[in-house]
């Protein structure tokens, strides 16, 4: 993920970020299940999804913190 993509994420609303984090959470769950049953062929995908999810959650928490102040 590059800086341009992160800046685009920062411009999204909190609702869209929550929706995206939910989708990525579901995808991560499916990938973990495939990995556990040895059906996952692209193991790098799990790492990519986990990092995207962490980035989105970080941005979401930053936005929520700004609203409280």
Confidence of residue 68 (pLDDT cuts 50, 70, 90): low
Give the residue-averaged pLDDT of 63-69: 74
pLDDT tens digits, one per residue of 11-57? 999 999 999 999 999 999 999 999 999 999 999 999 999 999 999 99
What is the per-residue DSSP string for 1-61? --HHHHHHHHTS-HHHHHHHHHHHHHHHHHHHHHHHTT--S-THHHHHHHHHHHHHHHHHH
């Amino acid at each position: 993920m590059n800086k341009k993509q992160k800046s685009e994420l920062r411009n999204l609303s909190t609702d869209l970020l929550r929706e995206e984090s939910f989708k990525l959470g579901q995808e991560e769950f499916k990938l973990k299940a495939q990995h556990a049953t040895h059906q996952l062929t692209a193991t790098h995908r799990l790492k990519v999804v986990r990092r995207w999810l962490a980035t989105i959650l970080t941005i979401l928490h930053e936005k929520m913190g700004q609203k409280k102040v």
